[in-house]
Amino acid sequence: MSLTINDDRMRSVVGDSSEVEQVATGFIFTEGPVWDPRTGSLIFSDMPGDIMRRWSPASGVEVFRQPCNKANGNTWDLQGRLLTCEHGSRVTRTEDDGSITVLATHFDGRELNSPNDLTVRSDGTIYFSDPTYGRMEGFGFPREQDMDVQGVYRITPDGNEVSQVASDFAQPNGIAFSLDESKLFVNDTDRGHVRVFHVQEDGSATGGEVWAEVTGEGEGVPDGLKVDSEDNLYTTGPGGIHVFAPDATDLGVIAIPEHIANFTWGDEDLRTLYVTASTSVYRLRVNVPGRKLF
């Protein structure tokens, strides 16, 4: 593994001997990986191909859903139902019978830009980012923007109400909570940094200051973002995946052979980092596991 170590804590979080392995390739642009512990498989999106796929060691790559409304980010709700951000301006939930429930398409009478990534609070509230990437050729459906901002939103646990959390991003992207859910981290891709919001009991948020600048050599921008089981924050960025300690120290960078969009932890012990990177899916072993989503 090609590893840049800026702080010795990187060795205890990631390790220094795991190899990056390509497990599948031949895609257009992979995104939105989420591990399904019930089937031991990885679900991920290929936006330009308008297809979602499932990969497992036993079966390899299979079609999960096609078409998929240019699906991007995926996660699980508290009941283990798949939540998906679709570049066709929807946030959806896949029910146990396979049917799709639409949770959000508009805010304040205007169509959402193109929901990108999402995370779920322990009370079932869904938070999602809404940049404009899905209105661009290739990654979505080219069309004029209806909203006049690029923001972050939340959906109530019953799925009946959408409210705005923040509206001052250039392009909001990856999103994740700290372990105690007092902080909500959101990448602003165009500005190259991670912002932090302070979440109130009612689900609203204050602040939004820059928590970390994501800088370095090589290709890549702050896109996917997640927090592991010890509150370390991982984000894509220049040169690979940047790992930050809870105190915002940049511990180091994991190099991946292709441009990275997103990642998640998987396998039974949640210590395998699965990475969606352009035409391929990669994996590597790390020391600190990810978080259980349900």
In the block, tokens 């702050």 appear at: 222
What is the per-residue pLDDT across 136-182, written as a single tens digit (0 to 9) for each?
998 999 999 999 999 999 999 999 999 999 999 999 999 999 999 99
Burial of 74 (0-12, 13-18, 19+ CB in 10 A): buried
Is it the case that residue 18 has pLDDT exceeding 80?
no
What is the per-residue pLDDT across 118-137, written as a single tens digit (0 to 9) for each?
999 999 999 999 999 999 99
Listed residue (139, 142, 146) closest to 189, CA to CA: 139
DSSP 3-state of 89: coil
Q: Which domains does the chain have, with CATH numbers?
A: 3-285 (2.120.10.30)
pLDDT, mean of residues 265-288: 98
Q: Residues near 250 by Cβ (< 8 Å), separated by ≥ 6?
A: 6, 7, 212, 242, 243, 244
Is it the case that residue 1 has pLDDT exceeding 70?
no
What is the per-residue pLDDT across 92-108, written as a single tens digit (0 to 9) for each?
999 999 999 999 999 99
What is the per-residue pLDDT across 206-231, written as a single tens digit (0 to 9) for each?
999 999 999 999 999 999 999 999 99
Residue 116: how many CA atoms within 13 Å on its side-chain side? 28
